[in-house]
């Protein structure tokens, strides 16, 4: 039975068979198979893993998008305009529609909030009677300044970068991680 799978039991008690090095030889070949397979798996696994996790944390370049003429916005009252944003998202160079919350303080000063609740990512709304932003999902309350008044929200509303040129409001669309006390940009 020398040279077969079962040589080590019974007929070859020392793990050696006949002339002595036959089982060594088998062991050597098996190890050689292992040593040669290892690089194959390693060199294949590395690119394949990195290719699907390497793009996750890449931040797209933010660009300003035109929202509209500032003079059409009411003063000190939150409104939610929609605007087109040319997202350079991967290979889709398409324009998508987003909305934001804008509060105009003066002709040169505004506050722009991301419409995404920093708790778990719902869309909150402005309740004029209560004079609060209220998120319907889990009941987070925010003041008109964006401060947390109640509910589970870990931080206040996220502001977005903006600029005013020739009376037009421009906004940079950014996204932030939800559920964390710190404001971390993710997109």
Interface positions with another protein (CB under 8 A): 2-6, 8-9, 14-33, 35-40, 42-44, 46-48, 50-52, 54-55, 58, 61, 88, 90-93
Q: Which is nearer to another protein, 33 or 164 (CB)?
A: 33
Least distance between another protein and beta carbon 160 (Å)? 20
Least distance between another protein and beta carbon 20 (Å)? 7
Helices (H), the chain: 22-53
Cβ(174)–Cβ(184) below 8 Å? no
Least distance between another protein and beta carbon 135 (Å)? 33
Least distance between another protein and beta carbon 56 (Å)? 11
Cβ(162)–Cβ(169) below 8 Å? yes
Q: Which is nearer to another protein, 52 or 129 (CB)?
A: 52
Sorted by sequence, the CB contacts under 8 Å of residue 117 that are 6+ apart come out as: 123, 124, 135, 137, 140, 153, 178
Backbone angles phi, psi at 70, to 5 degrees: -70, -25
């Amino acid at each position: 039975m020398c040279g077969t799978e079962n040589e080590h039991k019974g007929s070859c008690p020392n793990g050696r068979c006949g002339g002595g090095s036959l089982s060594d030889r088998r062991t050597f070949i098996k190890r050689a198979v292992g040593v040669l397979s290892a690089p194959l798996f390693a060199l294949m696994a590395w690119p394949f893993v990195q290719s699907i996790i390497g793009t996750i944390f890449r931040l797209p370049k933010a660009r300003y998008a035109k929202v509209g003429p500032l003079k059409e916005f009411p003063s000190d009252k939150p409104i939610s305009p929609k605007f087109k944003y040319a997202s350079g998202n991967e290979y889709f160079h398409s324009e998508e529609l987003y909305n934001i919350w804008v509060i105009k303080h003066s002709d040169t000063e505004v506050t722009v909030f991301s419409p995404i609740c920093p708790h778990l990512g719902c869309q909150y709304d402005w309740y004029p009677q209560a004079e609060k932003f209220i998120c319907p999902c889990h009941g987070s309350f925010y003041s008109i300044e964006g401060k947390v008044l109640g509910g589970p929200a870990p931080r206040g509303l996220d502001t977005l970068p903006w600029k005013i040129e020739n009376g037009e409001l421009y906004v940079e669309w950014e996204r932030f991680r939800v559920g964390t006390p710190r404001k971390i940009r993710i997109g």
